Amino acid sequence: MLLLRIYFKEKLLRSITTPLLIILTSIFIVLFDNVSFFKHVLETYPFTMKNVGFLLSLGIILYALIVILLTTVSSRYTLKPVIIISLILASLIAYFMQSYNIVIDKTMIENTLQTDIHESMDLLSIKLIIYLILLGILPSWLVYKIPLQHRVFKTELWSKIKLILSHLILIVLLLFSFSKFYTSFFREHKDLRLYTNPVTAVYNLVSYTYDQVKDTNIPMKKIGQDAKQLKDTTQADRKRKIVIMVVGEAARSDHFSLNGYTKETNPLLKKEDIINFSQMYSCGTTTAVSVPCMFSMYGRDDYDSTKGNNTYNVLDVLSHAGIEVLWRDNNSDSKGVALRVPYENYKTPHLNTVCQSECRDVGMIKGLENVIAKSNKDILIVLHQMGNHGPAYFKRYPDAFKKFTPTCETNQLETCTTEEINNAYDNALLYTDYFLTQVVDFLKKYDEKAQTAMIYIADHGESLGENGLYLHGLPYFIAPEHQKHVGAFMWFGKNFPVDKEKLKTKSDHKYSQDNLFSTLLGLFNVQTKVYKKEMDILRQ
């Protein structure tokens, strides 16, 4: 202890220059917060004599980029706050990268900012706190305590210019010296750059913020203003249409027993006349992208948040055509989809009467009969599930549905076995099976006097530890099948005007959430120029 006191007094508490503090901080971040980056790099470029120089250059270039970033955005009075924020941010990013193998791209930032406090609590753990303390708070405290040498403005400015220029030259020299390696690194391994901490996160945060500011000046594109509902003349088609669409959460296709999964996760749905779409793919790998995209007129290849936020969606078109629309949410929110239609939050006991440790999806069904009784119009009711939201899968179902054991009873998935993770996840799917059959049973009560239907599509899939990946949210081009291949099926009452047998013959064709926009319009016989028959699953 005496030696530590002497060290702190004689060394650390002695004032240091701004460049030295930036250099020391950058070295610390590279060495301790970029384990995930170097782990992925070594999987592509093994540590051999041939690669050792390139690998060292990567670390030095990352260090130089952090130096340039910190030097550029800091001044005499903001240096310490900027460094402290960077250390805290880097420690949190390091935890999530190393624990769940995720990357902080623009989509992940969007998803994070749209996550509510209840979902965020599921991510808290002792390990996260340890990372935060050791890699964030302790070094931040040292930065706070170390006195800085304050020099005149010109001297300080020249010092910053020299620091930036010297590190730019260093980057150029290393890129030139190992150009053969960097040619393949930049062209063929773009995904590796996503793991640089915190450079990529800062870049994407700035890019996302810019897009949000830019979007505020874009006028809303009102599509479907020509929409009108065509009424057929047959007796059956005079009946009112009552359609419930369930937006699932993190439900990967290969864990549905309807799709051949060995564990019986759909014991109740298999007894119903379900049309199962076994080859359905998502528009994105996060709720923030997939939910607005699936209701958008744009396909996955054309969709982006700017278009999605500034263009009417299919709910707006249906509403304009005279169909009643209601969105009930037991997830974070509608991600902007239900901004212009009636919306009800079922995440709290205020409306949801089925709440235990958390409010259950089945609570969204309660009181729907009163909604339906208010008018005789056709109606679309959207129920946005909590479903299989991770990592705390064990919270997503009541004890009565704990069929598959042993289960992972923590949000630190990396501490559980593969069997435990899968069992907890499958129990949550088992509860979804129950919830969806409750929806079907509810619709059956209207089968004689209405045309009833249920559509289920999960927003995205989920990784459960395969290749060290957990949860979801990887960029689409590198995301595994498990994060994109989702559960989807339809149920139709006996009066609904659809050829179910014909539909079953093509239910194993490859579809995506791109098909939903026109399928919903076709379901209600809505005519509009934005409707595309070739994208309507029911009329292809």
CATH of the domain at 468: 3.40.720.10
Buried b (16+ CB within 10 A) or exposed e, 294-318: bbbbbbbeebebebbbebbbbbbbb
Domain identity same for 9 and 49:
yes
* Structure confidence at residue 114 (pLDDT): 75
* Structure confidence at residue 77 (pLDDT): 83
Domain identity same for 411 and 268:
yes
Domain count, the chain: 2
Question: How far is 456 from 359, CA to CA, in rounded Å?
Answer: 20
Give domain status of residue 515, yes or no.
Answer: no
Give domain status of residue 233, yes or no.
Answer: no
Domain identity same for 157 and 275:
no
Structure tokens at 526: 């809505």
* Structure confidence at residue 83 (pLDDT): 95
Question: How far is 434 from 267, CA to CA, in rounded Å?
Answer: 9
Give domain status of residue 235, yes or no.
Answer: no
Which of helix, strand or coil describes residue 449? coil
The helix or strand, by DSSP H or E, that contains position 241, with its residue range, turns out to be: strand 240-248
DSSP structure string for 85-111: HHHHHHHHHHHHHHHH-----HHHHHH
Buried b (16+ CB within 10 A) or exposed e, 170-193: bbeebbeebeebbeebeeeeeebe
Helical segments of 445-507, H only? 500-505
Count Cα atoms within 13 angstroms, Cβ side, for 284.
25
Domain identity same for 201 and 333:
no
35-44 and 52-73 are packed helices; what angle lies between their axes, rounded to 10 degrees? 150
* Structure confidence at residue 3 (pLDDT): 43
Residue whose C-alpha is closest to residue 453's, from 495, 488, 487: 495
Buried b (16+ CB within 10 A) or exposed e, 47-68: eeeebeebbebbbbbbbbbbbb
* Structure confidence at residue 179 (pLDDT): 87
Compute, in degrees rounded to 10, the torsion defined by CA atoms 343, 345, 349, 351: 10
Domain identity same for 348 and 423:
yes
Site of tokens 């120029």: 529
Task: Let me know: does 37 contact 136? Beta carbons within 8 Å.
Answer: no
Domain extent for 311: 242-506
Domain boundary among 214, 231, 266: 214
- Tell me phi and psi for residue 456, to 5 degrees: -125, 125
Domain identity same for 189 and 250:
no
Domain identity same for 44 and 102:
yes
Helix count and strand count (H, E) for the chain: 20, 14
The torsion region of residue 324 among left (phi > 0), alpha (psi -120 to 50) and beta comes to beta
Q: Is 120 buried (19+), middle (13-18) or exposed (0-12) by CB count in 10 A? A: exposed
Compute, in degrees rounded to 10, the torsion defined by CA atoms 12, 15, 20, 23: 40
Give domain status of residue 27, yes or no.
Answer: yes
In this structure, how many other beta carbons lie within 10 angstroms of the beta carbon of residue 530?
Answer: 17
* Structure confidence at residue 10 (pLDDT): 52
Give domain status of residue 269, yes or no.
Answer: yes
Domain identity same for 208 and 270:
no
Site of tokens 């393949």: 184
Domain identity same for 151 and 75:
yes
Give domain status of residue 402, yes or no.
Answer: yes
Task: Let me know: does 491 contact 454? Beta carbons within 8 Å.
Answer: yes
* Structure confidence at residue 494 (pLDDT): 92
Site of tokens 């950058």: 26
Give domain status of residue 124, yes or no.
Answer: yes
CA 135, 140, 142, 146 dihedral sign is positive
DSSP-assigned letter for residue 68: H
Domain identity same for 459 and 414:
yes
Instruction: Give the residue ranges of the chain where pLDDT is below 50.
Output: 1-4, 6-8, 13, 236
| C-alpha 225, offset from chain centre | 31
Give domain status of residue 479, yes or no.
Answer: yes
Q: What is the 3-state secondary structure (H, E, C) of 328-377?
A: EECCCCCCCCCCCCCEEECCCCCCCCCECCCECHHHHHCCHHHHHHCCCC
Structure tokens at 206: 């700035």
* Structure confidence at residue 2 (pLDDT): 43
Structure tokens at 187: 């062209």
Domain identity same for 275 and 194:
no
Domain identity same for 361 and 268:
yes
